[in-house]
Structure 1
Amino acid sequence: MKKTLVLVTLFILPIVIYLFFASGITNFGKLATLTENVPEIDFADKAVALGGKITVLGFLGKDVESKKGNAFNLNQKIYKRFYEFNDFQFVMVMPKGTEQDVEELKKELLQLADIGKWNFVFGDDDEINDLFKSLKTNLILDGNLGTPYVFIIDKNRVLRGRDDDVEEGIKYGFDTSSVADLNNKMEDDVKIILAEYRMALKKNYADRPK
């Protein structure tokens, strides 16, 4: 009897625990589709492709100095952990006239990490407002055309997030002024969307004719 209990403890119990957690990952490990058909960024001065990329989209606004802390948080907590994944990019939408301030920000970010996948695109007020409104969130831009929130856009130009967040209900974006939000929620959600595409690639490979 004792031997049987030992065998159950050593071999069967770990398998049961694994299946329990694996089931949880399968059932809950997927980001909600919140807004479809997010437009490509095709401003008068520059275009940036969202299709075919996993994008973290942000709006830093005219007062770049006040958003440096947000950019550093985002860089340290999210960018440095994921930038080496293929087809992953950051896109920061900036008002025209902030070009010099952005260059200073890029120099400071460069001291912390390779910023090759940080993209800055400059648009006029209407272009920025129209792009933000297309996300159809419950958030607003401030008077400087900025927000501390960033958004996850998938390869099909769909805004992804949570529709059952305990604190917010529908969670459209992630607050870069909150290290807790980045650590506890955004990091997990980026992992989930990257896992979705890895699983899709494996399935496509397995389904190919031999």
Structure 2
Amino acid sequence: MKKTVVLVALFVLPIVAYLFFLSGTNNFGRLPTLTENVVDIDDVDSGVSFKDKITILGFLGRDVQLKKANAFNLNQKIYKRFYEFNDFQFIMMVPEGMESEVAALKSELGTFTDTQKWVFVFAKELEIRTVFEGLETDLKLNTDLSTPYVFIIDKDGNLRGRTDDEDEGTKYGFDTTSVAELNNKMEDDVKIILAEYRLALKKNTARRDK
């Protein structure tokens, strides 16, 4: 009997709680919009767009090898948990000339999970800066065109984040060097925006069925 209780507590209850969280109830509200109509990535690569996708946007910079740990943190804590959701993508902007380094990184990431929704966009410095500055955050790019922060862009091309974060007040991005931040903040916010769209989909389906 005790073994059964332990197994339920360890495996069943977390799954039920997770599914409930993603059920789209009003308890979770909406993730605040911080910047409307950010510069779309399709201005750089016509085959990629923020529109109609929930996007995690990052900037790897010229030293991809140095940012490998950041990418692995993001892959393990966020990507692997959510990549199977429809209309979800990870876009990393990288300076032109880093193609071989990115190929090596993607290959390494592929040993842990399916990397089909990891999208790497190679761009000129001005293009990278234009997209980053279009987010209108209080953060800055490093001189190598990188930042440890990643950003949540919704299907309408708006930057989402927090307006009442307990540590930062307005929180524009999530620090990929911090596993705790990815676990305790970014995961929650991704769940909220997924629940938000799930709820909207349910409402639209209900209207059509009437």
TM-score normalised to the size of structure 2?
0.85
Aligned residue for 1:30? Answer: 30
Aligned residue for 2:205? Answer: 205
Aligned pairs, number: 187
Deviation at 1:39, TM superposition (A): 2.1
1:177 paired with 2:184, answer no
Residues 43, 123 of structure 1: 8 Å contact kept: no
* Amino acid in the other structure paired with 1:159: L
Equivalent runs, 1:147-166 vs 2, <5 Å: 147-166=147-166
* Amino acid in the other structure paired with 2:183: N
Deviation at 1:26, TM superposition (A): 3.3
**Over residues 90-120 of structure 1, what are the superposed CA-to-partner deviations in whole Å (9 max), with x where a residue is unaligned?**
0000100111100010110000100000000
Residues 57, 150 of structure 1: 8 Å contact kept: yes
Deviation >4 Å, runs of 4+? 43-46
Aligned residue for 1:11? Answer: none
The SS at the match of 1:97 is: coil
**Over residues 59-97 of structure 1, what are the superposed CA-to-partner deviations in whole Å (9 max), with x where a residue is unaligned?**
010000110000000000000000000000000001001
Distance 1:41 1:203 in 2: 30
* Amino acid in the other structure paired with 2:69: G
The SS at the match of 1:64 is: coil
**Over residues 142-195 of structure 1, what are the superposed CA-to-partner deviations in whole Å (9 max), with x where a residue is unaligned?**
010000000000000010000000000000000000000000000000000000
Distance 1:68 1:46 in 2: 27
Deviation at 1:30, TM superposition (A): 1.9
Distance 2:188 2:74 in 1: 14
Distance 1:81 1:27 in 2: 22
Aligned residue for 1:93? Answer: 93
The SS at the match of 1:208 is: helix
Aligned residue for 2:84? Answer: 84
The SS at the match of 1:193 is: helix
Residues 59, 94 of structure 1: 8 Å contact kept: yes
Change (3 A) 1:45 1:135: closer
Distance 2:155 2:44 in 1: 23
Aligned residue for 1:66? Answer: 66
Query: Which 5+ residue runs of structure 2 have no aligned equivalent?
Result: 1-20
Distance 2:48 2:143 in 1: 24
Distance 1:27 1:77 in 2: 24
Distance 1:43 1:27 in 2: 37
The SS at the match of 1:152 is: strand
Higher relative contact order (CA 8 A, sep 6+): 2
